[in-house]
Structure 1
């Protein structure tokens, strides 16, 4: 199931479950994988920023990948971003041998010029091999690297193994429109565009030409339904469903505690046993938990899946 430019739907960014002492929670890795599959996702993306990949030892990263890939019945993309290319190549080759569909590569924060960005991706492809499909992670809010539509086009056109863009610019609607316009004029080959930012702008991102979402909102089943409604032309129904969840999506987008909030909801939904993060990690106060519970009760008025 190698990744290609026709990918669409919802690829959930998976959390990495931990026990309270910080060890990997292997039982919850299975239950979380099953949860995503039951939600109807088209794929999974693991070892991303939400997956706390930077806190894992190389052996743990492979172990998590092995367990999820073996259990999942959908394509699995693995984040392989690393400070150095040696570690990137090792993980990329390792997960592809395990059956991954492709890898995701984020630009390191020190890149500032277009030339530096283009050189970095050229070198990354040279190191991991041009036979491994890869996703560009465009997340300037966290990575502080600004990639213009023209730079993204140049990367895609220079490297046939680039098949997807994880679009997390903000504001980013015009970037999607520009990339799709490039395709209409014939200057950009087919490219899957899945969007992030917790799904915060998914409703209009779909209208601008996105193929779906690649994000970690704790109700991936809602995202799946929203995408399907949009693809079916049911605009008002899609917006009505999405709007019901928007306050909770917004709450999850808070810097610092967003992952803690998301894991708290995933625990309440039975997907994981503990909402623990590996240190360093934020913890929710009792007040924050009460706020999330209140938001869930509000969402449940229109979507019974939030009745927890």
Structure 2
């Protein structure tokens, strides 16, 4: 993993029209991410529908992701999502053995104390030979930035943090103040707050992989000092994201772009709106496509 990982999209798990995992589309999705200029691809985020995969499917998907990322010349990030520390450590060791470049940890959701969460991450960090990323979201037990900084000093390979608080900015500032160059901070939540996150010291973003080239363009503009251009591109992105209703809509976009063959999501899916909802999505997609073509 690069020190400043930049753009690390969350990979959606493609399914065939009858609900089987589509490994060919999965490989194509990863190559699309690489061709857009991203530094890594991340599997088993919420947008990956990991909770709808069997244990066997998770393993074969992980193998495909590591292999495809290697072939495409980008880093592979595999997320450990199990809430039991013992099992999470086993999964992390498996991903390390498969050749993942980084293991992301989704800590137990609102279970245990902050110290137990830190121990969960610590034990994973001590068990693997690769860098570890911590996903910090509102659904997790709250852990103060200074405690994550102390964990990094104790277990140095715990050196990436994905912040998904709402808003993420103040936490990013505090964590950056506590750690300096010792860790790299990324922002999630589809990149809604990516400009503020970059302003505060974040060095990357982890959105779902719908338009990776646009996130790369925003990142590039901001890094080059053209903040106004980054803000303008982000404004176009926000207008589009406001019409997205979760993973099913994101997969629709990816199918329309030819990235995956089917937009199928395993049920339950939830309310996706009506015909007017779809019409607004299609109109927003067309406007965004015009913006991307001009990049």
- TM-score calculated relative to the size of structure 2: 0.91
Equivalent residue number for residue 286 of structure 1:
275
Choose the corresponding residue for 1:25, options 22, 27, 49: 22
- Distance (Å, rounded) in 1 between the aligned partners of 2:157 and 2:204: 20
Q: Is the 8 A contact 2:93 2:128 kept in 1?
A: no
Q: What corresponds to 1:66 in structure 2?
A: 63
Secondary structure in 2 matching 1:182:
helix
Residues 49-60 of structure 1 correspond to what in structure 2 (within 5 A)?
49-60=46-57
What residue is the counterpart of 1:146 in the other structure?
A: 142
**What is aligned with 1:298?**
287
* 1:1-308 to 2 correspondences below 5 Å: 3=1, 6-72=3-69, 73-111=73-111, 113-126=113-126, 129-140=127-138, 143-183=139-179, 190-252=182-244, 257-282=245-270, 284=272, 285-304=274-293
CA shift at 1:145, angstroms? 2.5
CA shift for structure 1 position 130: 4.7
Which 10-residue stretch deviates more, 257-266 or 80-89?
80-89
| Equivalent position SS for 1:251 | coil
Q: Tell me the secondary structure at the aligned position of residue 8 of structure 2.
A: strand
Superposition deviation, residue 156 in structure 1: 1.8
- Whether contact under 8 Å (1:251, 1:258) holds in the other structure is no
Query: Offset at 1:80?
Result: 1.3
Relative to structure 1, is the Cα distance of residues 123 and 93 closer, same or farther in structure 2, using a 3 angstrom cutoff?
closer
Structure 1: how far apart are the matches of 2:88 and 2:119? Answer: 16
Structure 1 pair 8–83 and aligned structure 2 pair: CA distance change class (3 A): closer
Counterparts of 2:111 and 2:150, CA distance in 1? 16
**Structure 2 unaligned spans of 5+:** none
Q: Which runs of 5+ in 1 are unaligned?
A: none
Count of paired positions: 291
Change (3 A) 1:239 1:7: same
Other structure's SS at 2:94 match: helix
Structure 1 segments (4+ residues) deviating >4 Å: none
1:283 and 1:214, CA in 2 relative to 1: closer, same or farther beyond 3 A? same
Report deviation, 1:300.
4.1
Distance 2:118 2:92 in 1: 20
Deviations 1:108-162 (A, max 9, x none): 1233533232233234445xx152321100011xx24222212222222221120
> 1 CA distance for matches of 2:226 and 2:276?
38
The alpha-carbon distance between structure 1 residues 116 and 51, as it changes in their structure 2 partners (threshold 3 A), is: same
Measure how far apart 1:41 and its partner are.
0.7
Superposition CA RMSD, Å = 2.1
User: Are residues 57 and 276 of structure 1, via their aligned partners in 2, closer, same or farther at CA, if it must alter by over 3 Å?
Assistant: same
